[in-house]
Amino acid sequence: MLLKRYFDHIVSFFGILVLWPVLLVVAILIRVKMPGGPVIFKQKRVGKDGRLFTMYKFRSMTVGHGGSSVSVAGESRITPLGAVLRKYKLDELPELWNVLKGDMSFVGPRPDVPGYVNCLTGEDREILKLKPGITGPASLKYRNEEELLAQMEEPQKYNDEVIFPDKVRINLNYLHHWSFWLDVKIIFCTLVGKDLES
């Protein structure tokens, strides 16, 4: 996966250079529209080989909400500006810094909070061989995850019993069938909003 590492470092570096005006505008909007809290949301996530790292995102929620780790569309803790940032994935732009640092890759499983990794057993733990990604095959399938969860009577239960196991299955398949061109296809599908299978 040497080519993958070179791609991550080079593209994230130039991505930050090209997108810095967008990053600046979003940061200013958060400061103005969501005062009283940080612009950047920082949280410990589980990375390659189970090592913890700090993931960076633009803040999209109220401060001190104390809510679940599972986000549902329409929640009161998600601010109006935050909802727009999340819809267009702009809240994830600071993760380019995580990719540049080597904590993350452009493509891979989304990084989970420590509690979910503890649920992995047997072969499922092989997905920890991968760096977490900004996007990935499971992210494409569940691009509307928050809207899907909003339709469920028990969103947390549905996530834990249906979505999380399915994501593990998809990410294992990605691990076993990885190629650089698969990564390129996943990034392209992410940018244009297409399904991987189409």
Q: For residue range 145-172, what is the model confidence (pLDDT) as tens digits?
A: 999 999 999 999 999 999 999 999 999 9
Q: For residue range 31-54, what is the model confidence (pLDDT) as tens digits?
A: 999 988 999 999 999 999 999 999
Could you give the percent of the chain with pLDDT greater than 90? 80
SS3 at position 134 = strand
CB 171 within 8 A of CB 125: no
CB 111 within 8 A of CB 55: yes
- The per-residue pLDDT for 41 is 95
Quickly count: other Cβ atoms within 10 Å of residue 66's Cβ: 6
For residue 117, give the H/E element and its range: helix 114-117
- The per-residue pLDDT for 169 is 96
C-alpha R_g of the chain: 16
Q: Which residues contact 32 (CB under 8 A, 6 or more apart)?
A: none
- Tell me which amino acid residue 147 is: E
CB 16 within 8 A of CB 100: yes
Quickly count: other Cβ atoms within 10 Å of residue 159's Cβ: 23
- The per-residue pLDDT for 74 is 73
Q: For residue range 170-184, what is the model confidence (pLDDT) as tens digits?
A: 999 999 999 999 999
Domain boundaries, the chain: 2-192
Question: Do strands 105-107 and 133-135 pair parallel, antiparallel, or not at all (unpaired)?
Answer: parallel
